[in-house]
Amino acid sequence: MSKKLILSIVGEMGSGKDTFCNYVKENYPDVYFFRTSDPLKDVLKIFFDEIKREDYQWLAPLLKGRFGDDILIKATIKKTQDFNGLLILNGIRALGESKATREADGKILYVTADIEKRWERLQTRGEKADDNMPFEKFKELHKATTEIFIPEMGAEADFKLENNGTKEEFYAKIKELVDKIYG
């Protein structure tokens, strides 16, 4: 496909953002996937062998405080300049990132699930060093500055996918949405 569509994804920890991205990458042509947290990860890898969620939550506000709360999405959008197709920008977390997505003629997708379901998923995922955390700690992390705007951004998103069922049910919802907006 030669058309270009930027789709920024917002969602709580463990909601299914990566599952969405992986399904779309595997089932549609001309799909490019970017994580808005990649610049943070690159910096943190210099200093730490194991990166914890709290490390991201510490660094992101520092950069955003210095350069604006849209710095990560603007850097990611800049990386996409030479691409055509479906450009998935995974992990927006600040109101300025929503605004920057819209200024780039992009759309926003909110992926969500019940908190208990999301915590259960993190227990088996093992993506970050602290994914296997107690439920109380998981709930506490939702109060971090990198997490507090997610529900507000979700309420204003162009599209919403709830991921409380099976993987197959979620895949069906993903296919229906992507066929509608990009098919």
Task: Mention every residue, 6+ apart, whose C-beta is less than 8 A from residue 157.
Answer: 10, 108, 109, 110
Looking up tokens 């699930």 gives 113
pLDDT value at residue 2: 58
pLDDT value at residue 169: 98
> Tens of pLDDT along 49-83?
999 888 998 998 899 999 998 999 998 998 888 89
Mean pLDDT of 39-50: 93
Query: What global pTM score does this model have?
Result: 0.88
Determine which helix (DSSP H) or strand (DSSP E) holds 168, and give its type and residue range.
Answer: helix 167-182
Mean pLDDT of 21-27: 95
Q: Where are any strands of DSSP class E within the chain? A: 4-11, 31-35, 85-90, 107-112, 159-162
pLDDT value at residue 165: 96
> Tens of pLDDT along 122-169?
888 877 667 788 899 999 989 988 899 999 999 999 999 999 999 999
Give the length of the chain: 183
pLDDT value at residue 1: 47
What is the second-level CATH architecture of the domain 4-178? 3-Layer(aba) Sandwich (3.40)
> Tens of pLDDT along 29-39?
999 999 988 88
